[in-house]
Structures are given as structure tokens and as C-alpha cells.
Amino acid sequence: MTLAVKPRASLEGQHFHAVIIGGGINGVAVARECARSGKRTLLVEQNDFASGVTSRSTRIIHGGLRYLEHGELELVRESLRERERLLRERSHLVHPMHFVVLLNEQSQRSAMKVRAGLWLYNRFAGRKSSASVGEMELKRVQRALDAGHQWSMFSYEDAQCEFPERLVAEWLREAIEAGAVVRNHSEVLAVDVVHGRARGVLLRDRTNGKDERIDAAWVLNCTGPWADRICQRSSVRTSHPMVGGVRGSHIVIGRFSGAPTAALYTEAANGRPIFVLPWNDQVLVGTTEVPDTSDPGKTAPSAEETEYLFRAVTQLFPKAKISAHDIKYAFAGIRPLPYAERKSPSAVTRRHFLHDHSSEGAARMISVIGGKLTTAASLARECARKVGISVPEPKAIAVGPGHNLDPLLDNAVVEIARAGSVSEESARGIVEWHGKRAMDIARMALVSAELRAPICPHTSHIVAEVVEAYRNECAVTLGDVLLRRVPVALGPCWSESCSREAALRVGAVLGWNEHTLGENLESFEMERAAFLRRPSPRGTTALEAAAD
């Protein structure tokens, strides 16, 4: 089969109630909310949806235990409510996860303080006591830890979204189905401000190089760490920066002996909290907090940050003999925290703010500052109300324990396997990543063996999922697919040979000629290398020395 990619219709001169700039989780959530309310909505993203901060996060959906330290009680309550909604409404993507707080005699936080914090956290979450991690798991973790310390352990429950890119893809599709017009790989050159009011945007479509002017009743700047740049391009002058960019870096390590199945929440040598999380058959370690006002699109973890995280995990698990060669890759993103002069990054609020530019000569332009994965939907409701859309609060949801994956999941897997003539392993992967769209993919897979083939030899995900991404999820490049819509390239076994094999299998189905295949492969490898950084040989030597 050959996939016919429809040319994009011109937007020149069209009018929208709301133009949303920025296609991360916040921007997509806002577009979805506006479109579902019947308003003509345009969402534009300069690169690909979820390719910025969203894909560079710690991938947890949490109430914010740490926010209690700074007295942000209302943010904790809001986060817990939104966590419960995601657990119930997106159970194939958001899963409950046990967390274990680890303290030793050198920890800056006392056991009494942590115990009190957990009590309050559980009260907010509607629980009488903390979630219980099995005794066997706690003993297994304790055996693996540095025996030179006396460890105190406290357990609680939060959640993980392993692939927020998939959550964004689902919300994006729902926005489109509600009538939103969406454009990725389309850059807003400037907001058009006339006579003290935002009137629209000047847009450049990077897929064809065309510039278009679009009219809008409202312009919502949801670009995260790029928010100030949009204002600068548009000659909207704020009295001070809106965003105080903070770089957060992570490392991903292969599974090691004694690696926990629960998430660990502990302190690094400087007392800053870090997570050690099971993720995607690997271990995710993060994060750092480094002020960074550089180009968010080019941010990368520094050698010092990689060493800091590597040292933290090796000191925690010295018996595992983790080597720098076990680091699969490192990645970094810029958190768009509110600007707070002379405040340490850890003390800056994680609440979001809506900055109205009326007093700066740009009425009907709003910049969204801050926000996080967990609260994207509540942020979207607030934005919609700000632009005159009546959005009722969703039905109250009781928080509490006992969230499990859909009990019908196993039945769905068997049904999808039969419908698509694929293995149960492939069917499970399709159900877990595509939810209610899984049957559409199964029916497509039935068409040919090429569509049922795995994307590469190391994955159970199939080529039909790639075709679905191009057809119905706005994928334009191979990177859009393999890093975000069907993110197999984040897996532990991915290599350059996997990239070549995937490009060949996808190209054969989509009708790529040799030149198109080569262009797609080269572009993908460049994007992946820029995102997922491998420590250099020199850096590896330094890391090994640091671990000694």
C-alpha cells in the first residue's frame, strides 16, 4: 500500500476564535477544550507535538509530595484530583505506581518530617495510611542498597505515565474530531498586534515554506520555555521575563541486578530530591535543576549533570557494579517555571499562571507560564474560561486507592490478536498504547503481512501502528512516529541498525523511493542523536572515576 499524504489546505486569511501557539501537553489540552466547546480553534507547533518539554519530563503523574515543603497545599489538592481523573480515564497510559522514600543518617530531611508529610499527603488523597509496598520488595531494595548506611523507608502511591507523548496524541486526535485545525512543523513568526490588540498570527509552514496570516479573536501563547521569545518577536514588551528557565536532566540506565520494581524517591549528595524509576524496561534517574536561559530547542545535559545523576545511583546501589557503559542515554528539557529573581529553582512555585498582556498593549493575548503533566487538563479549563468559553468543572471524582488497569484488558488483548491476526504480545502493545483505537489498527493489520510485521526485530509493535500515526495522528517525519506516536526508539535495544530496519519496513509500506527513505532515515538519526545524548568516551572515563 502507498500512503497518500494530503497537502495542507491554506489557512491564509482564515479567522479563528482561538489560536493556540505551542503543541506540548498544555497547548494540546487547551486546543481540545476550546474545540470541544464549539469554538473555531487553531493549534500550531513549530516542531512536532510533544517534542519539547513534554517528552523530556520525569514521566510521573503525581500530587506533588515535595510541594508540601513549600506550603503549596492547593496545588497538591488540584494535582491529586487530576491524577485520579487520568488514572480512571486513561488507564491504558497512566498506571498506579508504588513509591518508596529512602532516607539515611545523612539525609537533610528527618524521618519525622517525611512521616508527617506523608500523613498529610494521604489525607488529601483520601487515604488513612500510605500505600503498602510488599515486604519482599522492601527487603529486596534494602539488600541492594549501600550497607554502610542505616536506611529508613516510607511508602506511598502515585502514578506514572510512561509515554506522555501518547497521551498528547490521544488528546490531539480528540481536538481534531471536535473540529480543531492543527499544524505541526509550523512556526509562528509573530503575533499580529494592531491598535493595542492581538489580531492574529503570521505563520510559516515548514513543510512547504509558505507564510500565512491568520486572524484570531484570542491568541494563547502555550510555548513553555519559548514564551518570552514569542513576545519579543511580536514587540510585546513585558517588565521582566515571564519564564525563569530551569534545565532538568535525566539519565536512562539498563536494568541492573537489584533494580527496584517500585519507584525510589531519595536525596542526592547535595540534598536535592531525585527519583530512580522503573521505566520502559530500563531505569530512569532524574532530575537536576540548573538555571538555563539558552535556546530551549538546543538544550542538552551537561557532563556535570550526567555525573551527578550517575554518582547518585551508583552510591545508592554500590553492589550492582553499575558502569558508565550502562548509561543508554541522557536527555534534558527546560522547565518553564515562573520568573523569580534571586530564588533558588527548588523554591520556585510549580503552579501555573495566565499572563494577560492587555497592560502591555496586546489585549486578547494570554501567555501560559508553568504547568505540568498532571494538571494540563485543569489548566486547559482555566484557559478556556479566560477566553470567554463556559466550561463547567468536571464531575467530582473521589480519590482513593485501588486503581488497577482495566479488568477487561486481557479480553481486549485476545480480541485484538484475533482481529488483526497478530501475536498476543503485539496485541497487548497496541492496546496499551492506543486504547480504544486498537481495533482500527488491528483491522488495518489484517490487510497484509507487511502491516503485521514488527517495526524492528526487537519490538512487538507493528508497522500498522506507524501507518495509523501518519494517517490520523498528524505525523510528518519518521521522528514524529518513532520518538513520539509509536515511541519504540526510546527502548533499551534500539540502535542504528534498528533505525535502518524500521525505515526499510515503513518505507516499503508507504511507497518511499530510495531517496525519500534515505532522507527520512538521516533526519531521524539526527533528531534522535540531538535528543538522546550518549556520554562521550572521555566523559565515560570521568564518570567511572566519579563512581570510584
- Which residue spans of the chain are classified as CATH 1.10.8.870? 409-531
- For 130, the grid coordinates are 500510605
Alpha helices, DSSP H only, in 373-495?
Answer: 376-386, 409-420, 424-434, 438-445, 449-452, 463-472, 478-480
Contact 236, 365 (CB under 8 A): yes
**15 phi/psi in degrees, rounded to 5:** -115, 135
Fold of 83-162+245-338: D-Amino Acid Oxidase; Chain A, domain 2 (3.30.9)
Contact 85, 394 (CB under 8 A): yes
Q: Running DSSP on this structure, what letter comes out for residue 462?
A: B
Q: What share of the chain is helix, strand, coil (3-state, %, to 5)?
A: 40, 20, 35
- For 191, the grid coordinates are 503575533
* pLDDT (0 to 100) of residue 1: 47
Contact 35, 237 (CB under 8 A): no
* pLDDT (0 to 100) of residue 171: 98
Distance (Å, whole) CA 535 – CA 426 = 32
Side chain identity, residue 290: V
258: region left, alpha or beta (phi > 0 left; psi from -120 to 50 alpha): left
DSSP-derived pairing of the beta strands 365-369 and 211-221 = parallel
> In Å, how far are 101, 304, 483 from 72, measured between CA atoms?
20, 31, 34
* pLDDT (0 to 100) of residue 541: 63
The per-residue pLDDT string of the chain (548 residues; one tens digit each, 9 = 90 and over) reads: 445 456 789 999 999 999 999 999 999 999 999 999 999 999 999 999 999 999 999 999 998 888 888 788 999 999 999 999 999 999 999 999 999 999 988 888 888 888 898 888 888 887 655 456 777 888 888 888 888 888 999 989 999 999 999 999 999 999 999 999 999 999 999 999 999 999 999 999 999 999 999 999 999 999 999 999 999 999 999 999 999 989 999 999 999 988 889 999 999 888 889 999 999 999 999 999 999 989 999 999 999 999 999 999 999 999 999 999 999 999 999 999 999 887 777 778 888 999 999 999 999 999 999 999 999 999 999 999 999 999 888 876 655 544 444 556 788 999 999 999 999 999 999 999 999 999 999 999 999 999 999 999 999 999 999 999 999 999 999 999 999 999 999 999 999 999 999 999 999 999 999 999 999 999 999 999 999 999 876 666 666 665 66
Through-space distance between the first and last CA atoms of the chain, rounded to whole angstroms: 55
- CB 63: neighbour CB atoms within 10 A? 27
* pLDDT (0 to 100) of residue 131: 54
Alpha helices, DSSP H only, in 218-375?
Answer: 227-233, 303-316
Largest CA distance in the chain: 69
- For 228, the grid coordinates are 518570552
Question: Which CATH superfamily does the domain covering 409-531 fall into?
Answer: Alpha-glycerophosphate oxidase, cap domain (1.10.8.870)
3-class DSSP state of 187: strand
Q: Which helix (H) or strand (E) holds 437?
A: none
Q: What is the domain class of 15-53+165-242+350-386 according to CATH?
A: alpha beta
- For 59, the grid coordinates are 514521566
Contact 156, 122 (CB under 8 A): yes
Determine the distance from the C-alpha atom of residue 5 to the mean position of all C-alpha atoms in its chain, rounded to a whole number.
27
- CB 333: neighbour CB atoms within 10 A? 27
Distance (Å, whole) CA 18 – CA 501 = 42
- Which residue spans of the chain are classified as CATH 3.30.9.10? 83-162+245-338
417 CB-near residues (< 8 Å, 6+ apart): 423, 424, 426, 427
Q: Running DSSP on this structure, what letter comes out for residue 324?
A: G
- CB 285: neighbour CB atoms within 10 A? 27
Burial class for 392, CB neighbours closer than 10 Å (0-12, 13-18, 19+): exposed
- Which residue spans of the chain are classified as CATH 3.50.50.60? 15-53+165-242+350-386
Contact 473, 458 (CB under 8 A): no
- For 492, the grid coordinates are 533499551
* pLDDT (0 to 100) of residue 473: 97
